Amino acid sequence: MEDQVKNSEEMDLNGEETVTNSPAQEENATAESELEKLKTELASYKDKYIRTVAEFDNFKRRNAKERIELMQTAGRDVITELLDVLDDCERAKQTLEKAGLAEAAEWEGVKLVFNKLKTKLQNRGLKAMDVINQAFDADLHEAVTEIPAPHEDLKGKIIDEVVKGYLLNDKVIRHPKVVVGK
**Average of per-residue pLDDT across 45-60:** 96
- Who wins on pLDDT, 29 or 17? 29
22 pLDDT band, cuts 50/70/90, is: confident
Residue 16 has pLDDT above 50, yes or no: yes
Residue 95 has pLDDT above 90, yes or no: no
Q: Which pLDDT score is estimated for 38?
A: 93
> Between the CA of residue 17 and those of 7, 14, 113, what are the distances in Å?
11, 9, 109
Residue 148 placed within a domain: yes
Structural domain total, the chain? 3
Check whether residue 80 and residue 130 sit in a common domain. Answer: no
**Average of per-residue pLDDT across 5-34:** 65
Check whether residue 103 and residue 114 sit in a common domain. Answer: yes
Q: Which pLDDT score is estimated for 127?
A: 92
Residue 4 placed within a domain: no
Backbone angles phi, psi at 17, to 5 degrees: -80, 140
pTM metric for this prediction: 0.59
Among candidate residues 119, 98, 102, the one with its CA nearest the CA of residue 110: 102
| Domain boundaries, position 92 | 75-124
Asked if 155 contacts 181 with a C-beta cutoff of 8 angstroms, the reply is yes
160 burial via Cβ count (<10 Å: 0-12, 13-18, 19+): middle
Check whether residue 176 and residue 138 sit in a common domain. Answer: yes
User: Of 55, 72, 89, which residue is a domain's last?
Assistant: 72
pLDDT in tens, 124-160: 889 999 999 888 988 889 999 899 888 888 888 899 9
> Between the CA of residue 161 and those of 83, 84, 169, what are the distances in Å?
15, 15, 22
Residue 111 placed within a domain: yes
- Who wins on pLDDT, 102 or 92? 92
Q: Parallel, antiparallel, or unpaired: how do β-strands 177-181 and 158-163 relate?
A: antiparallel
